Structure 1
Amino acid sequence: MKITGSVALVTGANRGIGRHFTQQLLERGAAKVYATARNPERIDIPGVQALRLDITDPEQVAAAAAAASDVTLLINNAGISTWTNLVTGDLSRIRLEMDTHYYGTLSMVRAFAPVLGGNGGGAILNVLSAMSWFSYDGANAYGAAKAAAWSLTNGIRIELASQSTLVTGLHLGSADTDMMADYDGDKTDPADVVRAALDGIEARKLEVVADEWSAHIKASLAADPSAFYTAFGRG
């Protein structure tokens, strides 16, 4: 899978990591980039084709797939964080997390899988999280939704192998974006995250672990979870 000459579609392209994906795809020689957002008028990157897309709206997803029938690379980046817990949190906000990260991503995959297959296979990148692998008090709805999206990524990879579609999962910790503006800890440069992800696609990697924190979380999965949560201050 080569970025040069590809036709890419990026969801949530108006800001944050999605905006960096859009910019770097152009810099790497993508032939066309569809930059999508719920409010496409906020997309201000020259050289892209802006499309209106709310991934939780089936009609908009279908319209995007019809308009972008030449796509060879799908970047499922659109996301939301409601900072909601599972037991006491507002159920509508929990559903919004799942509707966006799981059902929205699945809707995009189902709509674009035939497009990619018809164009030779191509690739899908799902933007996941280190929180696919651990829980954090105050954001457990996000973690549950990203865990579901991780499982989705692994499942569709198997299902789309027969049409030669590469499916890559991107895991990252906190990036310096608007979504994490109120977080006081260390943050990764989103440009570095995107660079690692696009390098991973070209190398046909099934998984890209973008930072040391995500690598640490992944390594902890093989151990007793009490060790991680005690060290994390949640044991």
Structure 2
Amino acid sequence: MDFANSIALVTGANGGLGQYYVEALRSHGASQIYAAARNLNSLDDLVATNPKIIIPIALDITNEQSVNQVASQCQDVTILVNNAGVGFNQGLIAASDLSQARMEIEVNYFGTLMMCRAFAPVLKQNGGGAIVNMVSMVARVNLPFNGSYSASKAATLSLTQGVRAELAAQGTLVVAVLPATIDIGMGKTYPDPKVSPEEVVSDALQALLDSVEDVYPGEQAKQMAAELLRDPKALEKAVAMMLPSSTH
């Protein structure tokens, strides 16, 4: 993939990993980057770094009309980065109700799926391109104190595999990015080791260059992926000790 001729769209560009994706794509020579967020004002500082290349886009990935409108507006996209997501650090049984679990599924699964569906024909008409889905290592082994988020990311990983299969014939590379603890956002409160957001984004973009479908940024994620191959039940039991602090 030639970043120098690429036109990217990054969801959740106003915070977390989003701004790092925008900055890295710009440094790799992307000719244009659509920075998408629900609140356009939240993108002001990011856009100000290079307003000729970074174009702010209002987008709510949980709203089908909003998604389709943006897809219609951004018909030149060759790289879609599905970065927007939410997580509430709650257990499955310990949670007081299902409202936050539903939101995690709505954003992390259905939002990502709607973006893939809306932009699949756009990528096809532009030669295939690529989709980058921010997943998580907890998609492969549930972290109980963040259990419903883990479940939503497991759904996101499964949809990534399905979308990959459906879009293979049109030449679209679909990459799953599966880091463990990232030193940003809610990961700041997690115990070490952590991977830097810069390394996550760098590894994700390198995966595009190398046509790697699943990438595990950081030593923690790589070790967990290896353990899943060696003894998946032992890893499940080890992570199972990280329980929610209370039950309802």
Length-normalised TM-score, structure 1: 0.95
The residue aligned with 2:158 is 151
Whether the 8 Å CA contact 1:133–1:217 is kept in 2: the answer is: no
Deviation at 1:85, TM superposition (A): 1.6
Structure 2's unaligned 5+ residue stretches are 243-248
CA distance in 2, matches of 1:231, 1:5: 45
CA offsets, 1:24-80, max 9 Å, x none? 101111010000011121112223100011111111111110111100000000011
Q: Higher helix proportion, which one?
A: 2
2:168 to 161, 165, 168: 161
1:232–1:87 CA distance, 2 compared to 1 (3 A): closer
CA contact (8 A) 1:35 1:49 kept: yes
How far off is 1:232 after superposition? 4.0
Q: 3-state SS of the aligned residue for 1:54?
A: coil
The 1:205/1:229 distance shift into structure 2, 3 A limit, reads closer
CA contact (8 A) 1:33 1:49 kept: yes
Aligned to 1:95: 102
1:221 is paired with a residue of what secondary structure? helix
1:117 corresponds to: 124
Q: How many residues align?
A: 235
Deviation at 1:223, TM superposition (A): 4.3
Residue 74 (structure 2) pairs with residue 74 (structure 1): no
**How do 1:190-201 residues align onto structure 2 when only pairs under 5 Å count?**
190-201=197-208
Residue 144 (structure 2) pairs with residue 140 (structure 1):
no
The answer to whether the Cα contact below 8 Å between 2:194 and 2:218 also exists between their aligned partners in 1 is no
Q: Give secondary structure in 1 for the equivalent of 2:100.
A: helix
Report which stretch shifted further, 125-134 or 186-195.
Answer: 186-195
Aligned to 1:65: 71
Moved more, 106-115 or 37-46: 37-46
Evaluate the alpha carbon distance shift between residue 173 and residue 224 of structure 1 in structure 2; reply closer, same or farther with a 3 A threshold.
Answer: closer
Matches within 5 A, 1:8-87: 8-43=8-43, 44-45=45-46, 46-47=50-51, 48-87=54-93
3-state DSSP of counterpart to 1:16: coil
CA RMSD of aligned residues (A): 1.5
State how far apart, in whole Å, the 2-side matches of 1:150 and 1:203 are.
20
**Range with bigger deviation, 94-103 or 81-90:** 81-90
Q: Which amino acid aligns with 1:150?
A: L
Shift of 1:191: 0.7
CA distance in 1, matches of 2:145, 2:188: 16
Which secondary structure does the structure 2 equivalent of 1:34 belong to? strand
Q: Shift of the alpha carbon at 1:189?
A: 1.2
Q: CA deviation at 1:231?
A: 3.9
2:178 corresponds to: 171
SS in 2 for 1:4: helix
Counterpart amino acid of residue 219 in structure 1: A
Structure 1: gaps spanning 5 or more residues:
none
Partner residue of 2:195 out of 188, 191, 198: 188
- The answer for the alignment partner of 2:246 in structure 1 is none
CA apart distance, 1:187: 2.1
